[in-house]
Amino acid sequence: MAESESGTVDLEIIVQGAQEGKKQELRLWLRMLSTTKLISQEIRRRLRNEFGATLPQFDLMAQLYREREGLRLGELSKRTMVTNGNVTGLVERLEIDGLVLRETPDGDRRVTVAKLTAKGEEHFGAMAAAHEAWLRELMADVDPAIIAELWKDIGAVKSSVNNHLSGAAFD
Amino acid sequence: MAESESGTVDLEIIVQGAQEGKKQELRLWLRMLSTTKLISQEIRRRLRNEFGATLPQFDLMAQLYREREGLRLGELSKRTMVTNGNVTGLVERLEIDGLVLRETPDGDRRVTVAKLTAKGEEHFGAMAAAHEAWLRELMADVDPAIIAELWKDIGAVKSSVNNHLSGAAFD
DNA sequence: TGCAAGTATTTGAAGTATAAAATTTAAATT
DNA sequence: AATTTAAATTTTATACTTCAAATACTTGCA
């Protein structure tokens, strides 16, 4: 913050800062994107090889696991950030595998509620334990303090993004 | 749950630390994933509305833009983290739109090189400028120092993940 | 009562994604 | 030269993705 004294040192920093600062967000985004892709691909591969499941199916089941009474498809769509039309097919396939079941409540026949079957709960339990261990393994070289800081700072990014969206959608 | 009279303080901290630390990586991953999805969806929407392009197409063109002589499809696959088979269709559609062209070099007829057409370069140039501005806008509320730190720390995560992959693939 | 307006889900079309098998061409062996 | 091995891409099959339009049901209100 010292612009004082002789005054030439900071000029360099300012000039450089202006150039770099311009693309800083882009660089961060590209790195976030490639890192997320990398992890996703690895998790996807392991889910497939060890449990015969896909990542979207895992995500969907994770939501149902913590709401044992089940969830409406629309609510499932919001929580998984998957479009409505997509949830339909996802639940359909899981129902065929006997992991999820659909039912229409008496009150409102427009609604479909999806919930895990006993088989689904058991299956997901095993996957969730492995999934958590995989993440610890993949991030093993990162200092826990850094992990905590990243969690906080990415939260700030998320808030900013949420404040500048063009359409709808919130967190 | 105290195990001894005198030495219980640290134990609690340790136990709690172990519990929390256990899921820290999972929490970070979930936040990274949801934030990345959020930004992707917004970028996707804007690319579609303002340029009639998709995100994968944009990514692919970005690679070709910085390699004016063109790239082999295999190389394109690595750089975009998109599978081989998928690159084929992606390039095919871009060729139909006249943004990309394919050619087979004389030396090796197994190879296909894709490069941007003049129209493709012009089109991408406009998109890239907008894209960069969008990211600055979306992250506008985040302190530049935090952006820089995130870039560095996510780099550490990426390295760790690369060191613990089960199959192949590097950065 | 009756129908316009709203809500919840499904369907359809085009594109993107993966893994794995198949194809084509090149290089290395024998 | 014929055979094997390897490399680069395409094809195939299935799943996931989005957006937009269609369907089915509910509600509010004249």
Structure tokens of B158? 């990426």
**Domain of residue B87, residue span:** 26-160
Task: Using the predicted structure, report yes or no on whether residue B53 has a pLDDT greater than 60.
Answer: yes
Cβ-7 Å neighbors of strand C: A 41, 44-45, 48, 72-75, 84-85, 87-89, 91, 102, 108, 110-113; B 54, 56-57, 81-86, 89-90, 93, 108-110
pLDDT, residue A121, reads: 97
- For chain A, how many structural domains are there in total? 1
The pLDDT tens digits for A124-147 are: 999 999 999 999 999 999 999 999
Note whether residue A100 is domain-resident.
yes
From CA B54, how far away is CA A125, in angstroms rounded? 36
pLDDT, position B125: 96
Residue B139: inside a domain: yes
pLDDT of residue A147: 98
Residue B106 inside a domain? The answer is yes
Q: Is residue A11 part of a domain?
A: no
Residue A5 counted as domain residue: no
> Does residue B3 form part of some domain?
no
Model confidence at B166: pLDDT above 90: no
pLDDT tens by residue, B104-133: 999 899 999 999 999 999 999 999 999 999
* Tens-place pLDDT, residues B75-107: 999 999 999 999 999 999 999 999 999 999 998
pLDDT band, residue A166 (cuts 50/70/90): confident
**Residue B129, pLDDT score:** 96
Q: How confident is the model at residue A94 (pLDDT cuts 50, 70, 90)?
A: very high
Tell me, yes or no, whether A149 lies in a domain: yes
Average pLDDT along chain B? 87
Q: Give residue numbers, 35 to 54 of B, with CB < 7 Å from strand D.
A: 41, 44-45, 48
Chain A, nearest residue to B167 by Cα:
A42
A115 Cβ contact list (under 8 Å, min separation 6): A64, A67, A68, A69, A70, A71, A100, A101, A103
**What CATH number corresponds to the domain at position A48?**
1.10.10.10
Percent of chain A clearing pLDDT 70 (strictly above): 84
Share of chain A above pLDDT 90, in %: 82
pLDDT score of B134 more than 50? yes
Q: In which element (H, E) is residue B100 found?
A: strand B100-103
How high is the mean pLDDT of chain A?
88
- Residue-wise pLDDT for A7-56, tens only, equals 343 334 444 444 455 699 999 999 999 999 999 999 999 999 999 999 99
pLDDT at B20: 56
Q: Which residue has the tokens 């192949």?
A: B168
Query: pLDDT at residue B67 above 60?
Result: yes
Would you say the C-beta of A128 is within 7 Å of strand D? no
CB contact under 8 A, B22 and A136: yes
* pLDDT level of residue B66 (50, 70, 90 thresholds): very high
Contacts of B130 in chain A (CB under 8 A): none
Contact between B94 and B61 under an 8 Å Cβ cutoff? The reply is: yes
Long-range contacts of B16-23 (CB under 8 A, 24+ apart): B21/A144, B22/A132, B22/A136, B23/A132
In angstroms, the separation between the Cα of residue A27 and the nearest Cα of chain B is 7
Give residue for tokens 């040192």.
A9
A contacts of B30 (beta carbons < 8 Å): none
- From B60, B58, B115, select the one nearest B82 (Cα to Cα): B60
> B153 pLDDT exceeds 70?
yes
Task: Please give the backbone phi and psi of residue B115, each rounded to the nearest 5 degrees, phi first.
Answer: -145, 160
A13 located within any domain: no
